[in-house]
Amino acid sequence: MAGSQDFATDPRNANARIWLQGNLVTRANAKVSVFDAGFVVGDGV
């Protein structure tokens, strides 16, 4: 059953760069700490 968070992979996104804390990083390095306020107290919700 499909869910609301499902996505179709797109090879054009394989080399995408993400702006994170003032730097362009690869998808593999685009990580946010579990201690970030968005996770700890739900600020991003």
Q: How far apart are CA 2 and CA 34, in angstroms?
A: 27
- pLDDT tens for each residue of 17-43: 999 889 999 988 998 888 888 778 877
| Contact predicate 32/38, CB 8 Å | yes
Torsion of CA 12, 10, 16, 31, to 10 degrees: -170
Q: How many domains does the chain have?
A: 1
Q: Higher model confidence: residue 40 or residue 16?
A: 16
Averaged pLDDT, 1-15: 86
Domain presence at residue 20: yes
Catalogue the E-assigned strands of 1-45. Answer: 17-20, 23-26
Domain presence at residue 22: yes
Domain that residue 26 falls in = 15-40
